[in-house]
A and B are shown apart, each in its own frame.
Chain A
Amino acid sequence: MAVRFLIPGPLRPFSGGVSSVALTASPATVGDALAALRALHPGLTERVLTEMGDVRPHVNLFVAETNIRDASGLATRVPDGAEIAILPAVSGG
């Protein structure tokens, strides 16, 4: 089954308005999945990662229920058919 990104509302202008994006590739890691996402919707990946390739500090990525910060970061494994949720952190002001 395809790996699928769940897109939060503020980023949907960069996903063509859709709330999820399925990858045709089978990425091994979250980093690989983001690279595949960049090929489809570069605006999404640009707003999730900095120019240095780091996840922006106030963005969380979950593979199923696991925040990748609590796992192996961008090297976190992505099971076949997994959903990767892009979620803004609760930070603000």
Chain B
Amino acid sequence: MPAKKLKTPVSSGLSVRDGDALLLVGTMKGLFLFASRPGRRRWSMAGPFFPGSSVYGAAFDARAGRKRIWAAPSSMHWGAELAWTDDFGRTWERPEVPLVRFPESSGAALKNIWQIAPGRASEPDTLCCGVEPAALFESRDAGRTWQLNAGLWGHPHREKWQPGGGGLALHTILVDPADQGRITIAISTGGVYRTDDGGRTWAARNRGVRAEYFPDPNPEFGQCVHKVVQHRAKPGRLFLQNHWGLYRSDDGGDTWTDIANGVPSDFGFCMGIHPQDPDTAYIVPLHSDMFRCTPDGKLRVYRTRDAGKTWQPLTRGLPQKNALETVIRDAMAVDSLDPAGIYFGTRSGKLYGSRDEGRSWTLLQEGLPPIVCVKAAVVANSRAKKRAGNVRGRARGTAPRRVRRKRAA
């Protein structure tokens, strides 16, 4: 007698109030949502959404009064698409014809959507997304229609970009909050590129970033840049985690300085930057590109508070033995509250969080599918900041409790 087929897990949405902290956690088997009051002591979870599809890209768009979550489920069978919810997952919009499609003239087909980036606050209907094969798509009508950025697609370097282990992907998009014409992107493997004219032309910005896998370790392009982060209030300040190499730029990427000072390894993927302090950044070093696990079986986040002159391990609440973990490029996020919350997810499906800027950590959820992206946001930011300030005293040094699961899948 054939086995009874199980129903695909279905989850209702998340109950979210103004001021709540929100986490979007993309995994290899769907998207999960987490919400907490601004003190971030208890988290509720909903998901999986899009069970069976990997979700490498997710974003929360709070501009123009929206409370919209974008997600990029990618089915091995049926392809990648953009979907969105305006009610925290109760209902999702999935257009019949996927929104992001390569034009026929490009000769390309979409493999995955790696990044979704809302545009500037002053341009509330603009969005970008980065895809595989490496390309940038833009929308100027709040996501209803998307166009391939022709300047980058037509770049003469493009035919020499090479796929890394995860494919040839445009995985990082930094829309400069101040300079209306500037967007910085990163491609594995192609390196950092920047436009200063709104996307018409792009130039490589990899000076000082090494590529150890080429005969010339200092090429103009071809670096395997894993992640770049930018400070919102000081947009010239960038940190870069390379495939071997840790860097800082103080000139918007024109030049890069090696800042791998005192880290156990300068190989890694993920990176976060403090929302208020441009000198503070977070990484999770990995042993090597041949191993790609945390060194010595210790799960350590390293933090610099002096722009990379020194780095200190943050271990309180993190396992310090038998923890051969991997945190990939988009699996770390920082919220905008004060004190800042730092979050990361592992390939083994563990989600960790700190609500005291990394001093202490809590395992928020385990048993998830492999985590490939973590995004943090605050719903109705102005109220949230006020409330977070109210709880700052009692939050300091106190680890939040584990996740209260809202509804089992």
- Residues on A lying within 8 angstroms of B by beta carbon are 10-11, 13-14, 41-43, 46-48, 50-52, 54, 56, 58-59, 88-89, 91-93
Contact = CB atoms under 8 A, between A and B. Distances in A.
Contacts of A11: 78
A91 B77 CA distance: 8
Interface residues of B, number: 20
Contact of A56 (B79, B95, B104): B79
Contacts of A56: 77-79
A50 B97 contact: no
B78 A51 contact: no
A54 to B, nearest CB: 7
A58 B110 contact: no
Contact of A42 (B52, B77, B96, B109): B96
Contact of A51 (B52, B95, B110): B110
B153 interface: no
Given A46-B79, A50-B109, A91-B76, 10 more contacts: A11-B78, A46-B97, A50-B110, A51-B102, A51-B110, A56-B77, A59-B78, A91-B77, A92-B76, A93-B28
Contacts of B108: 51-52
16 contacts: A10-B52, A10-B75, A41-B96, A42-B96, A43-B96, A46-B79, A47-B75, A48-B78, A51-B109, A52-B104, A52-B107, A52-B109, A56-B79, A59-B77, A89-B77, A93-B28
Nearest to B106: A51
Nearest to A53: B104
A91 B78 CA distance: 12
B154 interface: no
Closest 9 CB pairs of A and B: A43-B96, A50-B109, A47-B78, A88-B77, A58-B77, A52-B109, A51-B102, A51-B109, A51-B101
Please classify the interface of chain B as helix (H, G, I), strand (E, B), loop, or mixed, using the class held by over half of its residues: loop
A42 B97 contact: yes
Interface of B: 28, 52, 75-79, 94-98, 101-104, 107-110
B96 A14 contact: yes
B28 A50 contact: no
Contacts, number: 52
B4 to A, nearest CB: 15
Contacts of A58: 76-77
B98 A46 contact: yes
B78 to A, nearest CB: 4
Contacts of B104: 51-52
A46 B77 contact: no
A13 B94 contact: yes
Contacts of B97: 42-43, 46
Nearest to B104: A51
A89 B97 CA distance: 22
Contacts of A48: 78
A46 B80 CA distance: 10
A47 B95 CA distance: 12
A68 to B, nearest CB: 16
Given A42-B96, A51-B110, A52-B109, A10 B77 contact: yes
Contacts of B107: 52
B96 A46 contact: yes
Contacts of B77: 10, 47, 56, 58-59, 88-89, 91
Nearest to A60: B77
Nearest to A48: B78
Nearest to B95: A43
B262 to A, nearest CB: 38
B109 A54 contact: yes
Nearest to A52: B109
A2 B76 CA distance: 31
Nearest to A10: B78
A47 B79 contact: yes
A52 B102 CA distance: 9
Nearest to B100: A51
A57 B366 CA distance: 33
Contacts of B94: 13
Contacts of B98: 46
B307 to A, nearest CB: 40
A14 B94 CA distance: 10
B168 to A, nearest CB: 16
A54 B110 CA distance: 12
A56 B75 CA distance: 11
Contacts of B78: 10-11, 47-48, 56, 59, 88
